[in-house]
Amino acid sequence: MKKILVTRKLLQSNEERLKKLYDVKLNSNDELYSQNKLVEMSEGCDGILSALTDKLDEETINELPHSIKILSNFAVGFGNIDLEAAKKRGIAVTNTPEVLTDATAEIGILLILGACRRAAEGIEGARSSNWKWSADYLIGKQLTGSRLGILGMGRIGKKIAKIAKSLGMIIHYHNRSKLSSDQENGAIYQKDLKSLMSVSDVLSVCCPASKETVNMINKETLEFLPKGAVVTNVARGDIVDDDALIDALNRRKVYAVGLDVYKGEPNLNPGYLKHKSAFILPHLGSATKETRTAMANLAIDNLEEFFKSGNCKNKVN
């Protein structure tokens, strides 16, 4: 029987399934393993069911025991894993695409609504009973008729576009390549980031994390936005330069932000805390029971397929 290390606690139904299939090392306390602890725990294992919180860089991968043949990542992203280092070691890396699209897109829309309609301030006022209705109390930005710029028109970006369009928003997007007209569904293609940001009353960051997208939203590119734009991020924290975005908030170049992801999670840059217009969530993108169950099941499916065939359709390296 194959032996699998599971680095984070999963839902009970997923762990029960794993127990039937493999000799598993479960993380019952949901401890965030250090890189050294992860290497130590993987001794004698054939594979690792990893999470996005595991930093599997080149040094860590090179220290993994030779018995490890697969890293089945419990996420659609895989920016936490050095793919090239894993490939050199003959270790397959897989992810869990498609199953979290709807849940993450819902959070993407929540960020847009929360930031535009000053939800953080409204919640604070309601909880403290410290508010009084007036014609200009917490006036926010209306979505109907405003322009939504989507950076990265993949599965999640397309779903956000579909919902936002139903709310009356005008959709623009930038992608590595232009989509076919049926996939665009009325969205307007912008050939580069500057063009996209210049027409974005609201910017939704949905692109994958990669070496090319690190700090893509920075001091220079933020200047392309119309004054008073809203910036939201449902992708990865590394894509946004937090200091630059906070500076843009300070200068009122940016009206508000909606973030489900940010650098150094769970440690939020304290500069955001100075702004009531910052609507921040603790990485809830895939946080529904249905989605987390499906993600873990797909990660397990990836292990099964790999051990049976030596390959996997969700292999990313």
DSSP classification of residue 273: G
CATH topology of domain 101-280: Rossmann fold (3.40.50)
208: nearest Cα among 95, 48, 85: 95
CB 116 within 8 A of CB 138: no
- Mean pLDDT of the region 265-269: 94
CATH 3.40.50.720 region(s) of the chain?
3-99+288-309, 101-280
- Mean pLDDT of the region 8-19: 98
82: nearest Cα among 262, 207, 241, 210: 210
Q: Which of 265, 275, 292, 305 is catalytic?
A: 265
Q: At residue 48, what are phi and psi to the nearest 5 degrees?
A: -130, 125
Q: Is residue 118 among the annotated active site residues?
A: no
Q: Which of 236, 290, 304, 305 is catalytic?
A: 236
171: nearest Cα among 207, 204, 216: 204
Query: Any bridge partners for residue 188, and if so which?
Result: 172
CB 295 within 8 A of CB 100: yes
pLDDT given at position 208? 87
Is the pLDDT at 211 greater than 90? The verdict is: no
pLDDT given at position 139? 97
Q: Is residue 15 among the annotated active site residues?
A: no
pLDDT given at position 77? 87
Residue 297: count of CB within 10 angstroms of its CB: 17
242: nearest Cα among 274, 206, 270, 275: 270
pLDDT in tens, 136-182: 999 999 999 999 999 999 999 999 999 999 999 999 999 999 999 99
3-state secondary structure at position 196: helix
Q: Is residue 174 among the annotated active site residues?
A: no
Q: Which of 283, 290, 292, 305 is catalytic?
A: 283
DSSP classification of residue 94: E
As given in the structure block, the two tokens for residue 62 are: 């090179």
3-state secondary structure at position 259: strand
Class of domain 3-99+288-309: alpha beta
Position 209 confidence tier, pLDDT thresholds 50, 70, 90 = confident
Sign for the CA dihedral angle at 72, 73, 76, 81 comes to negative
Q: The whole model's pTM is what? A: 0.92
- Mean pLDDT of the region 212-235: 97
Strand order in the sheet with 92-94: 23-25, 3-6, 47-50, 70-73, 92-94
- Mean pLDDT of the region 189-210: 96
- Give the whole-number percent of the chain exceeding pLDDT 90: 97
pLDDT in tens, 64-110: 999 999 999 999 989 899 999 999 999 999 999 999 999 999 999 99
